[in-house]
Amino acid sequence: MKRRRRTRALSFVRRHTDIADELQTGVDIEQRIGVLAKSNDRLLQHVEDSARVGDVLIRETKGIRIGVLDLAQRLNASTTFDGRFRLFAQENLELVEPIRDAESLPAVTRQAGEHTLSYVETHKHAGRVVRFRAIAKASGELSDTQVVVHAYSHRDQGRFMEAVKSAKQVCHPYILAMLGYSRPGRPDEASYIVMEDYCLFEEYISSFHGTRKLRAILKMTVEMCMAVDHLETLELRQLFPKEFWISTTQHPFGFGELVFDRRHGGRVKWARGPLSLGKAIDRDAYVPATQAERARLLNALWPVMSEDAGTGAVVHCWFSEMGTSFRAVNPLISGRSMRRRSWEVNADPNHPRVALGEWLGSARNDDTWSALSERNASLRVEAVTSFERVPLVVSRPDSPSEAPAEPSQHNRDHAEGEDHLSTKLWEAKELDIPESDCGEMCIDVVMGADGTRWKRYQFSCVPVDTTLLFRQSVNIANRGDAISRTAPSALGITDAVGYKSIGIAQQFVYFTETIAKMDTHAAAQAPLPLWFFMLQFDADNSLRGAARDCNAPWAFWSSEKHPTAVPAGIRFDPTPRSEHVEGNCTVPWSTWTQELGCFSFVIQSKMCTAVLNFGADELLALRELQGNRHCANHTERMNGSSNDGDDIPAHVFSELASSQSPDGTESECEGEEYYSADEDEDVRCGA
């Protein structure tokens, strides 16, 4: 019994011992798991710390890398750019072909502290500027772009640097831009400038004819006006010496300075200053020198800038704004004599031989003009008269009383081709008048029972031994409409007769000069002020040929402010006298003298008819206009309507048809298809 109990007790003890061992093992395992968990936590903490350190290192490394790359780019840019311009190496340019050599350019100097470009003559030997058409390579966005390279010899480093400085001054869409220039090299190495691709404006426009050429010149004028406005905004005011032309001052350009950029629809650009491609003294294109006149011209020309502008609008705008006053048309209008504006000299210095607006023809290459037909009252044009508000003081080596009868042969040879009249007017200055006379200048007065109109000028102080010039001009009013309206009959006549030149009497100009001499021993002194009266040749007088007494003076002096008649005692000089005008043209003077108290006045007068000489392109544009009108009239007649406003003779239509279609196969309504083959083919500008 006891043994059984002992065995049972031992078995119980053994079972509980195993349980204790298992419990102890579980406790140990739990302790180890806790230690492992703590170790794992510490390991995760180390991993997180390492990740944060790695992020910091990565950010710092990335910043260092960005800084290094930026530094590398800056270092690279410093070797390929100079401010806004790229520095080209020789391997960056692939020369394609040479371009026609540019003519020698004058030296350009700049006064210190002035925004002025002035041209001066120099006798220093300089090499030529050689131009090439090239392709840019490995030049960033300019790669595979066609450019023009101006190469300068090592002797022209001064001109090269001046061209670079000039190009850096401006940035404008109508001024030729420099893309870059050569990297600095050794003193004996040639330098070059890389320009935008272009062709000469003369080359571009040479394939145009008629209305298309006129529109292109109008567009060029608008773009050059904008370019000049921009330069004046930058205070580069003295672009070139201003020149006098037809009563105004203008900025001159040479056609070597005008280029055409075919990109972006095509535009004319000005190769300014040292970048010019022609002689700086060869001034053939002009824009007004005043901003107000340029703004007026821009407003007038802007409607015909579009290719959609009709022939009528282009022709009207051309003859109203450009064709009669701006010499920009001279070398561009084909079939034209050397002078755009010639003088029709009258044997009688007091009367015009032709009517204002009358069409004239010349069968020779001189200024001998004759009327194309009998005067037609229906083709009469309106006129507008203008006067000098203040008389001009002209400098001349001889006074009117001492003027030679004829210019010497030496003077005539020396004056050949020179415009002496424009030079004389350009050098003239307005007379300084006292404040009391300001409101008494150029006053309209009527004298006599016939209502003759005069201009009155008051002089509180009479300038002695000073030549005063009074000028009045009678111009065609609304020239564009007048020329378009009167052209049909004249075009038919010229086609039939075959004149070499055709023109229109566009202006009568009357010149009156006076000079006062004082006799200190005179018995009586003339009371001051004195008044000078000048006859007004308005539209009616001019169109009637100023039918009046040839011995009646144009002008006189008076001590009365309101005289009732021309004073007595005026003596006419029968000696024939003349003055040189331009080229080999001289005009006769009419001279008379007048005594007034202690003053002895010599007065001279002459008149000239300014003839506008049309070119072949202008005549072609007029024919195109008449062809369009004929087509419109034909369409209206087909529709049963009539147009009484365009009474065009039938013989003109036959002449127009023959001029448009030599073989007679072209329709009359294809008047705008002149030179269509030339217009449709691509303009090759050396590319």
| DSSP-derived secondary structure for 37-99 | HHHHHHHHHHHHHHHHHHHHHHHHHHHHHHHHHHHHHHHHHHHHEETTEEEEPGGGEEEEEE-
pLDDT for the residue 378:
55
Q: Is the dihedral of CA 625, 627, 632, 637 positive or negative?
A: positive
Highest mean pLDDT among 93-97, 109-113, 422-426, 655-659: 93-97
Q: What is the CA radius of gyration of the chain?
A: 43
Q: Which residue has the higher pLDDT, 241 or 452?
A: 452
* C-beta atoms surrounding 22 within 10 Å: 10
Coil/strand/helix, residue 660: helix
Mean pLDDT of the chain: 71
The candidate with the shortest Cα–Cα distance to 321, out of 337, 339, 297, 302, is 297
Both tokens assigned to 4: 């059984």
Distance CA 589, CA 584 (A): 16
The lowest-confidence range among 157-166, 192-201, 236-245, 481-490 is 236-245
Distance CA 307, CA 298 (A): 17
CB distance 391 to 468 below 8 Å: yes
Distance CA 132, CA 134 (A): 6
Strands 571-582 and 429-430: unpaired
The candidate with the shortest Cα–Cα distance to 251, out of 223, 279, 289, is 289
What are the tens digits of pLDDT across the range 286-318? 677 677 778 888 888 888 877 777 888 888 888
DSSP H stretches of helix in 444-572: 479-497, 539-543
In Å, how far are 425, 476, 505, 579, 606 from 509, measured between CA atoms? Answer: 13, 12, 11, 15, 8
pLDDT bin (cut points 50, 70, 90) of residue 547 is very low
Q: Which residue has the higher pLDDT, 670 or 456?
A: 456
The candidate with the shortest Cα–Cα distance to 431, out of 508, 515, 509, 511, is 515
Highest mean pLDDT among 354-358, 500-504, 597-601: 597-601
Distance CA 368, CA 379 (A): 23
Q: Please give the average per-residue pLDDT across 39-52, as a whole number.
A: 86
Both tokens assigned to 367: 């200024």
Distance CA 514, CA 128 (A): 52
pLDDT higher than threshold 80 for residue 74? no
CB distance 174 to 223 below 8 Å: yes
Q: Please give the average per-residue pLDDT across 522-547, as a whole number.
A: 66
pLDDT for the residue 666:
37
- State the SS3 of 559-570: CCCCCCCCCCCC
What are the tens digits of pLDDT across the range 178-228? 888 887 667 777 888 888 888 888 888 888 888 888 888 888 888 888 888
Residues 6 or more apart in contact with residue 31 via CB below 8 angstroms: none
Both tokens assigned to 229: 């406005």
Distance CA 510, CA 541 (A): 12
CB distance 657 to 630 below 8 Å: no
pLDDT higher than threshold 60 for residue 235? yes
| Distance separating the N- and C-terminal Cα atoms of the chain | 133
Distance CA 148, CA 133 (A): 5
pLDDT for the residue 682:
35
pLDDT bin (cut points 50, 70, 90) of residue 327 is very low
pLDDT for the residue 593:
92
pLDDT for the residue 108:
39
pLDDT bin (cut points 50, 70, 90) of residue 267 is confident
In the chain, % of residues over pLDDT 90:
4
pLDDT higher than threshold 70 for residue 122? no
Helix 616-638 × helix 479-497 angle, to 10°: 100
| DSSP-derived secondary structure for 287-333 | EESSHHHHHHHHHHHGGGSSTT--HHHHHHHIIIIITTT-GGGTTTS
pLDDT for the residue 107:
39
Distance CA 393, CA 432 (A): 9
For residue 86, what are the β-bridge partners?
81, 180
3-state helix, strand, coil in the chain (%, to 5): 35, 25, 35
pLDDT higher than threshold 80 for residue 565? yes
pLDDT for the residue 680:
33
The lowest-confidence range among 8-17, 44-53, 94-103, 347-356 is 347-356
φ/ψ of residue 660, rounded to 5 = -80, -35
The candidate with the shortest Cα–Cα distance to 591, out of 404, 392, 353, 388, is 404
pLDDT for the residue 348:
54
**Helix (H) or strand (E) segment spanning residue 507:** strand 501-518
DSSP H stretches of helix in 443-538: 479-497
Which residue do the tokens 């003559």 mark?
121
pLDDT bin (cut points 50, 70, 90) of residue 145 is confident
pLDDT higher than threshold 90 for residue 556? yes
The candidate with the shortest Cα–Cα distance to 566, out of 555, 576, 582, is 555
pLDDT higher than threshold 50 for residue 664? no
pLDDT for the residue 602:
92
Both tokens assigned to 200: 């000469």
pLDDT higher than threshold 90 for residue 532? yes
CB distance 448 to 564 below 8 Å: yes
What are the tens digits of pLDDT across the range 640-653? 654 443 443 433 33
Distance CA 418, CA 370 (A): 24
CB distance 138 to 91 below 8 Å: yes
CB distance 311 to 625 below 8 Å: yes
pLDDT for the residue 468:
92
Residues found in the chain: 687
pLDDT bin (cut points 50, 70, 90) of residue 441 is very high
Coil/strand/helix, residue 462: coil
φ/ψ of residue 561, rounded to 5 = -75, -30
pLDDT higher than threshold 60 for residue 488? yes
Which residue do the tokens 């081709």 mark?
417
Over the range 539-549, which residues count as b (16 or more CB within 10 Å of their CB) and which as e?
Answer: bebbbeebeee
Q: Please give the average per-residue pLDDT across 31-52, as a whole number.
A: 87
Strands 178-182 and 85-88: parallel
CB distance 589 to 396 below 8 Å: no
pLDDT higher than threshold 50 for residue 392? yes
Q: Which residue has the higher pLDDT, 555 or 382?
A: 555
